[in-house]
Amino acid sequence: MIEVKNIEVLIKSIEILRGVSLTLAPGEMIGLVGRNGAGKTTTIRALMGLAPLKDGEILVDGRSIDHLKPHQRAALGIGYLPEDRRLVPLLTVEENILVPSWAMPQIDHKKRLAFAYDLLPEIATMRDRKALQLSGGQQKLVALARAIMAGTKVLLLDEPFEGVAPALSQRVSEVIGALRGEKLAVLIAQSEVNHAAKMLDRSYSIERGTSI
């Protein structure tokens, strides 16, 4: 269970988040919806430890994770799909997917990789290609596989449907939908809910750095 309690985040001394609260329980698919610039990415970055809190707290299973670095949060089973994918261009598809597992000695890497390939067989066929050889949409799928690799408990997906062709966004939806039943908590940030509307249990709205 993740609890975000009234967090505030400053970027370059400007208050970007000014009171965001949400909860995310195992098995839930939750939306975080707001227009561009509302603070969705910053909320997810704060959850990953990439944007320091000025106030408020983030708890996982009742314990504060504020002192944990991003790789330590990955080790807790939190997977992250950044909006801009952030693959390492010169690494292969498989190496990119395995990156978060370097911080996770407790998981069976082979088994988890097989699970990711099972969900995304089209990625398995590209495993030896360098990330820079892929299209933007293919890179999104690889970044999703990488998030699934780490996300044994929680998946934080920042605009998973953005910048991909309609057929591919349908695939992204199917893959996310197939994770239901895995007892995963999934947070999907979107500026519009159209793609994920049916699969969401509920949504939070975010406006000017405040959740509603």
Binding site for ligand ATP (CB under 6 A): 11-12, 16, 34, 36-42, 83, 159, 191
CB of 54 to ligand ATP, least distance (A): 14
Give the count of beta carbons closer than 10 Å to the beta carbon of residue 135.
Answer: 11
CB of 200 to ligand ATP, least distance (A): 17
Cβ closer to ligand ATP: 11 or 88?
A: 11
**DSSP secondary structure string for all residues of the chain:** -EEEEEEEEEETTEEEEEEEEEEE-TT-EEEEE--TTSSHHHHHHHHHTSS-EEEEEEEETTEE-TT--HHHHHHTTEEEE-TT----TTSBHHHHHHGGGGG-TTS-HHHHHHHHHHH-HHHHTTTTSBGGGS-HHHHHHHHHHHHHHH-SSEEEEESTTTTS-HHHHHHHHHHHHHTTTTT-EEEEEES--TTTGGG-SEEEEEETTEE-
CB of 101 to ligand ATP, least distance (A): 27
Cβ closer to ligand ATP: 93 or 186?
A: 186
Cβ closer to ligand ATP: 3 or 84?
A: 84
Cβ closer to ligand ATP: 39 or 79?
A: 39
Cβ closer to ligand ATP: 35 or 183?
A: 35
Distance CA 207, CA 92 (A): 38
CB of 154 to ligand ATP, least distance (A): 18
CB of 42 to ligand ATP, least distance (A): 3
